[in-house]
Amino acid sequence: MNIITVKNQEEGGKIAFDLLKDKLTAGAKTLGLATGSSPITFYNDIIASDLDFSQVTTINLDEYVGLPAENDQSYAYFMNEHLFKSKAFKANYLPNGLASDLDAEVARYDALIAEHPIDFQVLGIGRNGHIGFNEPGTPFTQKTHLVDLTPSTIEANSRFFDTIDDVPKQAISMGIASIMSAKTIVLMAYGAEKADAIYGMVKGPVTENMPASILQTHDDVVVIVDEAAAAKL
């Protein structure tokens, strides 16, 4: 793992963007994208650049079950607001959390990832070490799946909803195996509340109880953290 400590999220976004530029020059065609606050500065740098993304396909990590794309808490809405409405891509894919047959949707998503192998995967990390919505205990062999969110994730996400009862209880997420199949992985994390997860990911044992720890076994991972998130390393 290549760990880069930055002053702030703006510097972190810029470093991730420079890495992306190099990979695009080297022929990267498919980006795996993440929601959450951590990648926002990186997305701003993509928007501000004059780089052409019209031949680039994006595949998002996850989506809540049950929220329509117009709901401002859906990940489709988030991606549109923070990136897609301002930068044209060849295609943008997210899981469809409104699919009537969620098992078929999971299979469709795996087929999509197989068809478009991910060159550059962007990740954030949950306070409990989850990546995408792969909660502690998820098998490392897991591909795309329907997830029951943990109480800690529901609680962490409740700040975005009127009441905790409005927070979706399920999501469709790429699995750990899907994430690990990406050629390059860039994980961004900022703030003291991520320090334990960053410690577990980097220094802890590789265990399904700390999903991000599997990244220790990938040969091209860049971790971009501020000092607060890196404090326990």
Interface residues toward ligand GLP, by CB under 6 A: 34-38, 61-62, 124-126, 132-133, 153
| Closest residue by Cα to residue 216 from 185, 174, 170 | 185
Q: Which is nearer to ligand GLP, 57 or 153 (CB)?
A: 153
Query: Within 10 A of 88 (CB to CB), how many other CB atoms are there?
Result: 11
- Calculate helix-pair angle for 40-48, 9-25, nearest 10 degrees: 60
Q: Which is nearer to ligand GLP, 24 or 122 (CB)?
A: 122
Rounded least distance, CB 26 to ligand GLP, Å: 26
Report how far residue 165's alpha carbon sits from residue 167's, in angstroms, rounded to the nearest whole number. 6
Report how far residue 162's alpha carbon sits from residue 139's, in angstroms, rounded to the nearest whole number. 33
Q: Which is nearer to ligand GLP, 35 or 184 (CB)?
A: 35
Report how far residue 66's alpha carbon sits from residue 44's, in angstroms, rounded to the nearest whole number. 28
Rounded least distance, CB 174 to ligand GLP, Å: 10
Contact between 64 and 168 under an 8 Å Cβ cutoff? The reply is yes
Q: Which is nearer to ligand GLP, 12 or 24 (CB)?
A: 12
Active site residues: 62, 128, 130, 135
Rounded least distance, CB 54 to ligand GLP, Å: 26
DSSP class of residue 81? Answer: I
Rounded least distance, CB 106 to ligand GLP, Å: 16
